[in-house]
Amino acid sequence: MTRNPQWKTYALLVPIVLFAAAGNVLLGKGMKQIGDAPVLSVAAFGTIFLKAFGNGWIWLGIGSLLVFLVAFMVVLSWADYSFVMPVSAASYALVPLLSRWLLHERVSSMRWAGVSLICLGVAMVTRTPASGGERA
C-alpha cells in the first residue's frame, strides 16, 4: 500500500493530462506539414523521419511527451497502471474542449458524446483506490 496521499497522485495526473494533450496536438501539426508517404519503402520512411526531425513542432511535441513520461513514471512508482491509464485519457477530452473555448471551432455532437463518455469513465475509475498494488 502507498504512503503517498491521494492528492499527490492527482497533482501528477494534471501535468500528465496536459502534456499528453499538448504532445499529441503538436505532433499532429508537425506531421501534417510533412505530408504523406506515397509508397512503402525504406527510402520513403527514411525521408519521413529526416523531415520529422527537422520540424520544430515535432520537437516541441517530443519535449511535451518527455515531460509526460517523467510524470507518468513518478506516479506509477506507487499508483496502479490500470488507474493511471484511463484517467490520463482525460487528455483526449481536453482537445475538443480547448478547440471550442480557445479556437472557437465547431465541435460535432459525436465528439461531445465522446467527451461525456470519457468524463464518465474517468469519474468511475477515480472512485476506485489509486493503488491496490501488484500482487508480487
Residue 4 class from Cβ within 10 Å (0-12 exposed, 13-18 middle, 19+ buried)?
middle
Select 104 or 135, whichever has its Cβ closest to other proteins.
Answer: 135
Q: Which is nearer to other proteins, 104 or 108 (CB)?
A: 108
Minimum CB separation of residue 29 from other proteins in Å reads 11
Distance of CA 15 to the CA centre of its chain: 10
With 0-12 CB in 10 A as exposed, 13-18 as middle and 19+ as buried, what is 68?
buried
User: Which residue, 6 or 82, is less far from other proteins as judged by CB?
Assistant: 82
Distance CA 67, CA 62 (A): 9
Instruction: Name the residues that contact other proteins, by CB under 8 A.
Output: 2-4, 27-28, 31, 34-37, 40, 45, 48-49, 52, 70, 72-74, 76-78, 80-86, 89, 92-93, 95-96, 108, 110-111, 113-125, 127-128, 132-136
User: What is the nearest approach in angstroms of other proteins to the Cβ of residue 13?
Assistant: 14
C-alpha cell at 19: 502534456
CB of 133 to other proteins, least distance (A): 8
